[in-house]
Structures are given as C-alpha cells and as structure tokens.
Structure 1
Amino acid sequence: MTADDSYGRLDDDDYPAYTMGRAAEMLGTTPGFLRAIGEARLITPLRSKGGHRRYSRHQLRIAARARELVDHGTPVEAACRIVILENQLEEARRTHTEHRRATGSPPPPAAA
C-alpha cells in the first residue's frame, strides 16, 4: 500500500481508524461501554493484526446514538435494540422511496 492509498482511506466512513481508547474519548464514554454495545451486537469493531479493536466513523455515529439513549436512562441492551430498529426503519423508508421512484408511483399522502 502506498502513502496515497492510506490518505484515500481518510475519506472512507467505514475505515477502522480509531482505537478503543480514542473512540471512547471521542464519545465521552468508557471502553466498557464500547465493549457492551459490541456484546449486544450493535457494532462489531474490526481487529488490528495485534487483536485490538478498531472503530470507523460510521460505527462511532451508531455508538453515539446508543450513548444518547443510555444517557437518558435507557438500559444498554434496550438502547442497542432501539438503534437497530431505527436503522432498519430508515433502510425500509429509503428502499420504499427508491421503489416509488423506479415505478413512478405517487408519494403517500402527508400525515395530518
């Protein structure tokens, strides 16, 4: 890999650039919180050659949403489930919108 290849990854939202310590610091939480949401299968960090957890910016955004819920009193397991369901709903809406565009279907009526 050349230096140019490495710099190109800085724009990659899924590149596992952050160590557990740095990720926890950025989120204002503890490594234990990151381990807990990993055990709940909300995010799965990649591992370095030495076996250390590495997190991407995308994973940190997901973790930040879970932390927000936990900070408001939601148990970690429930917060992880909520974030998973929110992501599934967002994906379903995006797929539905793409399908409507592809078939020329009119948008649904606005909610009252």
Structure 2
Amino acid sequence: MEQPAHTPDGTAGTGDKFDDDDYPAYTMGRAAEMLGVTQAFLRSLDTADLITPQRSGGGHRRYSRYQLRLAARARELVDHGTPLDAACRIIILEDQLAEALRINNERETGAS
C-alpha cells in the first residue's frame, strides 16, 4: 500500500489529510459501522492480507478511505456467496489490473 502524501519536510500536511485516501482516519469501530460489518470481519481482512491497517500510538487499528473501499468490495463479494479468501484474491487482482492500466495510460499519454 502507498504511504500518505507528505510535505517536503516529511510530515503529513494538515490539509493533505482531508484529501488523502491513504490517511488512516477511521477507527475499527467507526469503519465497521460505516461498512455495516463486524469488527471480526475487518480483522479477517487483515488476516487474509487484503488490508493492513496502520496502528495508533496505543496500538489501535486505523483505516484509510482506500482500505474502506477494499473492505466494502470484499463485503459485496462475500454477500454474493464468494468465499472470503477468493474475494480477497479477486480484489487484489482487480487492484493490480487498475494499477497496470494506470501505468500503461501514463506511458501512452507521455509518449504522445
């Protein structure tokens, strides 16, 4: 996973946090509430290596908006009967494909 954007001095800028999809802004309880899942479901996504939340100073999991989108996609697949391990693999492959397409598009537009 990409790390949050930082200012030139290496610290996350305050304004950047509001726009940064990778900023770990959500506690486990809030993330579970927003997604309509249990905290155990979120922990299972961590165990399955789909998302690895950052930890607060006290060791509590913190999730980014990007991670919440992945978790929502996992819930969608699981709700439609896909086993969790297969759902995680599908999401990882979708993410890799999107990244490859993005890189390919950048190369094509840069070569023009």
Task: Specify the code of the residue in structure 2 equivalent to 1:66.
Answer: A
- In structure 1, the gaps of 5 or more residues are 105-112
Hey, what's the Cα distance between the residues in 2 that align with 1:78 and 1:90? Answer: 18
The answer for the alignment partner of 1:47 in structure 2 is: 55
The answer for the alignment partner of 1:101 in structure 2 is: 109
Hey, what's the Cα distance between the residues in 1 that align with 2:106 and 2:14? Answer: 34
Relative to the length of structure 2, the TM-score reads 0.83
Over 4 Å off, 4+ runs: 5-8
The answer for the alignment partner of 1:60 in structure 2 is: 68
Question: 1:90 and 2:98 equivalent?
Answer: yes
* Structure with greater Cα Rg: 1
Could you say if the C-alpha distance between residues 37 and 103 of structure 1 is closer, same or farther in structure 2, counting changes exceeding 3 Å?
same
Q: Identity over aligned residues, as a percent?
A: 67
Could you say if the C-alpha distance between residues 101 and 60 of structure 1 is closer, same or farther in structure 2, counting changes exceeding 3 Å?
same
RMSD of Structure 2 on Structure 1 (CA): 1.4
Q: CA deviation at 1:98?
A: 1.5
SS at match of 1:29: coil
The answer for the alignment partner of 2:42 in structure 1 is: 34
Aligned residues: 100
- In structure 2, the gaps of 5 or more residues are 1-12
Hey, what's the Cα distance between the residues in 1 that align with 2:39 and 2:19? Answer: 25
